[in-house]
Structure 1
């Protein structure tokens, strides 16, 4: 009995020592470096990039109780977000649940449901599907953009938003949207910007707060979120079931929902997947497109010499009697360089949130599971080692000449990484090419003149949030000589 007791004590002691050593080892794991000060900024991606210059590609900060690790180089983002599948999830985001966005493709945790959603979106938004199903839709709305400019030459900032919203809603549901649909879509985007911005809401750090009653002091966030959720869910459910009824009657026009229903097995689970995907397009499908296009307008005003070069390339390749088409794209190398530079300097999704579902090590640093992992797209696209003089708008940096290496195409960064790559990127690129080239072909983008004075465009006003977008600016769309004929309007 005495020997048994000694053995028990020895085993127990060894277990305790092992647990203690494991605890100490875990405590001593080397976390990524953090800055001495974490002063807040309206554009934190720029601050992270500054810190990375002295601390290295990984920078650790704490935001509303969460550990946030920013990846500030393409190499770090590629190594972790592209090559290691366990970084493909999203951070815990209780506010997304409260807003009804937990089934949105952008905010789902990684798993079978997300894979099915992405598969459904890819089936309708692949390059092949775009060419066969959506070319007429893209042609119509890129022309309608020009019609709006003819009608109201000084309203390009607002009109471009309305066109892109209508494009995405018709893609999703097959109908030109009415004012109510557009309003709900716009409200949904605004709610997403406010409600899903990282580091803003304590409920994301203390999930139990989501269970407090709405009447409780301090629960205003929940009252606001629930109101927004009800409006969003009711709208996407009605839109989905309206299309489903049209499909049943054989009256549904082409749309993502119709195409997906025709491929599905008709189960409630499949319906929910399709409805969620369409809702993702409805609530967040237009913001990155419109931000990129507005950057194009702004930089053409700031650089009329570059605008003229792009126009002259169009004239030399296709003349000035017709609008460009998708088939013209390979013959327009300077315009492709221009579009790349718009993506680079604009960096419309400056931070790309991921999360890892298991511990990992990288560059000698420990990355605890369930960390907020932020790909700093802005830092990658303003890396002076890759893009010389990154603050300068210079499309020529992407031109292949004299055998010099061409910098990385910004579109390989702008649409995300790995298993969270934007499933709508091919559709976005297709529309942006048509919208940009047709705008250049039909209009000169000029500063507005008020009271005899030129209203100089400003580079200081940008809206921050999930998408980084120029604040409202004024410009005048001056029709070129044959614009009316190209668009199909009478003089």
Structure 2
């Protein structure tokens, strides 16, 4: 039949046939079951919704087409094994074989360096160093509590100065949270009015929105090259933001290099000392570009997650006034009027801690613990080749009625025992993930959430702004973090 076509048309036809063949998913026989695939797009036509609606939809797809909480979905031609089963998730995340990271869009930016989007020996060595160094520089220590209290005081001052006008809480929470990680990472804080610092903090929020727009680029990387497309525009903006952040950290690193004498004072200082120790080791992973990427990870993860959790908490309290009233009563009973909380008060505020945990469960800030096995593995009788994307679905566990009855209901009581004390452990509760890649900043985040949130409750009443609506059902999922849609509320100064 090709003889009836022009040479150009015939060649184009053959190229089209090859492209369709190449990009048509070729499912290995022993992967978990999933819905039928289409050429090139795989199962993308079945992926619907945004934010929380998307998370629910993906969870339901696994339940509909999967087996024992395991389901294979194809995003383009790449297999992605979703795992909803909590017992299997626990087994996987505690096994070294599942500690790998799949290749993706972030490799273009981070070049397999840093702390989040890397694996192998580099990741193991850098993570060990990060854990020990962060522990040495304050996690759980008195000076860090004092630092967070100082930031809480400045936050309260910033909100009081707004004088009851409708505002987006994120714009005020982010600089305070950022300053805490700044103090640990490079030994200084910044004024909230410092324009360079505010720009840096704002970039974190912008990057979350940009990554949400780049979801298809994660699947089809070539899309970022299409001229005048939204994908190219978003990718250029994201990489530009990252370069600005790196330039900021590079300047701090150079300043530290000129002042290495004296006791260790922050993460950069400790890292540069370790670099110097290993300068004759040709296999050392301690390099300046690795430090820059690690700083990018620490700043982004240490800022966005905590500030976003607090914005979710405000939304859930306003949607549940009875819970808000009960929480406010507990805080007023323990904290003197207009005072700030210290960590020794945590046991006296069990309901507040339960509220924070329920916010974390419902908000599902980081809903997926994306992994890639470093070798061929078997799960529940299925064979998963090395390098396959595996997605433990933490959202599915948090919404599983087996562990959380009436999972769609905001109910802090599920984290309290019969005497009203905070339960030491609730099975299925995974806000910081578990296993080999649990969140580096878990201890810090718990300290910040307690001090910042109790301070807000002690000094302000949260009120809906007239004519402005919002809902906990609506969110934006940006490939990593699940954030509320933009909203504004009023912080009304409490009168004592």
TM-score, with structure 1 as normaliser: 0.80
Aligned to 2:69, which of 57, 64, 75? Answer: 57
Residue in structure 2 matched with residue 122 of structure 1 by the alignment: 131
Query: Residues 330-341 of structure 1 correspond to what in structure 2 (within 5 A)?
Result: 330-341=347-358
Q: CA deviation at 1:30?
A: 2.5
1:48-447 → structure 2 map (5 Å cutoff): 48-54=58-64, 55=66, 56-82=68-94, 84-93=95-104, 95-100=105-110, 102-109=112-119, 111-126=120-135, 129-132=138-141, 133-152=143-162, 153=164, 154-155=166-167, 156-177=169-190, 178-187=194-203, 190-191=206-207, 194-195=210-211, 200-201=216-217, 220=232, 227-228=240-241, 230-248=243-261, 254-261=265-272, 265-267=276-278, 270=286, 272=288, 273-320=290-337, 322-401=339-418, 409=426, 412-447=429-464
- Answering whether residue 487 of structure 2 is matched by residue 470 of structure 1, we say no
Q: Note if contact 2:99-2:373 (Cα within 8 Å) is conserved in structure 1.
A: yes
Structure 1 residue 158: Cα displacement: 2.0
Corresponding residue of 2:5: none
Distance 1:201 1:407, change over 3 A: farther
Secondary structure of the corresponding residue to residue 107 of structure 1: coil
Contact 2:82 2:391 in 1 (8 A): yes
Tell me the distance in 1 between the aligned counterparts of 2:278 and 2:208.
Answer: 29
Partner of 1:478, secondary structure, is strand
Match of 1:31 in 2: 31
Kept in 1: contact 2:361–2:429 (CA 8 A): no
- Whether the 8 Å contact between 1:301 and 1:457 is mirrored in structure 2 is no
**C-alpha distance after superposition, 1:137-168 (max 9, x if no partner):** 21111222211221114323421123223333
CA shift in 2, pair 1:412/1:219, >3 Å: closer
C-alpha distance in structure 1 between counterparts of 2:241 and 2:338, whole Å = 48
Deviation at 1:214, TM superposition (A): 10
Measured in 2, the distance between the counterparts of 1:412 and 1:401 equals 19
Paired residues of 2:204 and 2:303 also in contact (CA < 8 A) = no
How many angstroms does 1:427 deviate by? 0.8
Which of structures 1 and 2 has the bigger CA Rg? 1
Per-residue CA distance 1:102-154 (angstroms, 9 max, x = gap): 31211012x22212221222124339832335222211112222112211143
CA distance in 2, matches of 1:195, 1:437: 32
**TM-score under structure 2 length normalisation:** 0.79
* CA pair 134-405 structure 1, distance change in 2 beyond 3 A: closer
What is the alpha-carbon root mean square deviation over aligned residues? 3.5
Question: Structure 1 328/141 Cα, relative in aligned 2: closer, same or farther at 3 Å?
Answer: same
Asked if the contact 1:173/1:258 (under 8 Å) is kept, the reply is yes
1:264 to partner: Cα distance: 6.1
SS in 1 for 2:124: helix
Counterpart check, 1:461 vs 2:474: yes
Distance 2:231 2:400 in 1: 42
**Alpha-carbon separation, structure 1, partners of 2:214 and 2:88:** 21
| SS of alignment partner, residue 76 of structure 1 | helix
1:310-340 Cα deviation digits (max 9, x unpaired): 1222233344363211111122211111111
Q: Supply the distance in 1 between the matched residues of 2:451 and 2:236 (Cα, whole angstroms).
A: 42
